[in-house]
Amino acid sequence: MQGNIGSQQQNLGSQRTVVGPNQYQKQGLNGNTQGHTLAALKQQGVPGSSAEDEQKRRMRQEKFAANGASSGGGSNGQLVGAGGSQGGMGNGGNSSMQLGYQIANKPQRQLLQYDLDGSNQEYAHLPAVKGTSTKLEKPYFRLTQDVDPSEVRPEEVLHHTLKLLKRKWKAKEVDYAYIDDQFRSMRQDLVVQRIQNEFTVEVYEAHARIAMECADLDHFNQCQTQLNYLYKAGVQGHKIEFLAYKILYHLFCDMETDILRMLKHLTQEEKSSEPVKHALDVRSALAQGNYGRFFKLFKTAPNLGAHLMEIFIDKHRILCLIRITIAYVATNIDVTYLKHLLAFEKESAEDFLTKLGCKIMEGKLMCKESNAALKRAPLKLKQKMK
């Protein structure tokens, strides 16, 4: 009986290390290894020793070898247990061991420095190509194989593409879905050709500005992250403008730690520039709960700062209204005054309040009756334009 229990415990703690298509080693908790051929294991009826299992192992090894070769280095095809241990229990020490595998000595991809946000890093391991395509417009598609130079536009063609897209967007000839797809395609062509110059910055800046106008925070963040690496590499562009956008973005996303880290590296010239000074004033107004000053700064934002603030503006309007209805709980407030205070222009203040469930009577907001509805209101962001 004791011998059977010991054998079962050894089986529970065992791991496999595949060393070839016709043989593997089975290693127990005591660290001893014993070689077994697949033929012998088949006779014993050991699970995982059938011809089908052998074929699956062979296919996995071929796949790993192919991945290693395409990544710029070979793989020895050896698999080890997750966590680097070949015979021990997992960190949790549970009796039901979870086995995992990883490729030993897997070569690391060499990523472009400005491409670390993950949006295009799947192309970074591919060899640089010189495009030959003359198409001005080309839809974006994710690369799943080697790059075909005939499908990639060289820089001189991309210059004409950028001018065309800017003209179409300004004339409102296309929607955002189309323009976003075209810019992603341009960015992809730049990445696979390893083009990192002022034109690259111009493309990313143009895409970021359009993304802000259309409330597309995902692609705006991708672009401004890439621009940050390019600026640090010494490529010229509108660094001050996008530094202010970055502060506002981190502010509205409650990334105070990132803002403090940025402030440590700001030069005096950058701090005194109008866009950065405005962004820091917005941060100060929100920290103090001074919504009157915050909405004034929204009206006077330089460049496209108002578009970025507008994505989050309804959230802060609701937070401001909650404070107002608490402070004036015994009275009512004129909606015209709220329209001026909360910086309403295109949208009607009365429609905004009604959608939130507020009570309005004779052009005045009834504070006591509206406070509960405001507290229940979702703090949503502006929807992305399609």
Shared domain check, 176 and 78: no
Shared domain check, 25 and 137: no
Tens digits of pLDDT across the chain (386 residues)? 444 444 444 444 444 444 444 444 444 434 344 444 555 555 555 555 567 777 777 777 776 666 655 444 443 333 333 334 343 444 444 433 333 333 333 333 333 433 433 345 555 556 678 899 999 999 998 877 788 899 999 999 999 999 999 999 999 999 999 999 999 999 999 999 999 999 999 999 999 999 999 999 999 999 999 999 999 999 999 999 999 999 999 999 889 899 999 999 999 999 999 999 999 999 999 999 999 999 999 999 999 999 999 999 999 999 999 999 999 888 889 999 999 999 988 678 889 999 999 999 988 999 999 999 999 998 887 776 66
Q: Is residue 280 part of a domain?
A: no
DSSP reduced 3-state for 39: helix
Q: Is residue 261 part of a domain?
A: no
Q: Are 270 and 150 in contact (CB under 8 A)?
A: no
Which residues have CB under 8 Å from 385's CB, separation 6+? 176, 213, 214, 215, 216
282: how many CB neighbours lie within 10 A of its CB? 22
Q: Are 380 and 314 in contact (CB under 8 A)?
A: yes
DSSP reduced 3-state for 218: helix
Domain final residue, candidates 204, 237, 270:
237
Distance of CA 187 to the CA centre of its chain: 16
Task: Output DSSP code: residue 171.
Answer: T
How is residue 257 written in tokens? 């730690």
pTM for the model stands at: 0.67
Shared domain check, 92 and 154: no
Shared domain check, 99 and 124: no
Q: Range of 18's domain?
A: 2-103
Say how many domains are in the chain: 3
Q: How far apart are CA 102 and CA 222, in angstroms?
A: 30
DSSP reduced 3-state for 122: helix
Beta strands in 226-361 (DSSP E): 332-334, 360-361
Domain final residue, candidates 103, 131, 160:
103
Q: Is residue 132 part of a domain?
A: yes
Task: Output DSSP code: residue 328.
Answer: T
Shared domain check, 85 and 135: no
Residue located via tokens 């090894």: 61
Q: Are 125 and 72 in contact (CB under 8 A)?
A: yes
Q: What pLDDT is attached to residue 129?
A: 85
Q: Is residue 244 part of a domain?
A: no
Q: Is residue 189 part of a domain?
A: yes
Shared domain check, 323 and 227: no
Shared domain check, 15 and 81: yes
Q: What pLDDT is attached to residue 23?
A: 43
Q: Is residue 276 part of a domain?
A: no
Signed CA dihedral, 317, 322, 327, 328: sign only? positive
Shared domain check, 116 and 224: yes
Q: How far apart are CA 11 and CA 166, in angstroms?
A: 66
153, 157, 258, 295, 303 from 212: Cα distances, Å: 26, 26, 20, 19, 11
Shared domain check, 196 and 116: yes
Shared domain check, 230 and 120: yes
Shared domain check, 191 and 168: yes
Q: Is residue 288 part of a domain?
A: no
Q: How far apart are CA 384 and CA 241, in angstroms?
A: 22
Domain final residue, candidates 78, 103, 128:
103
Q: Is residue 217 part of a domain?
A: yes
Q: How far apart are CA 41 and CA 109, in angstroms?
A: 39
Shared domain check, 215 and 139: yes
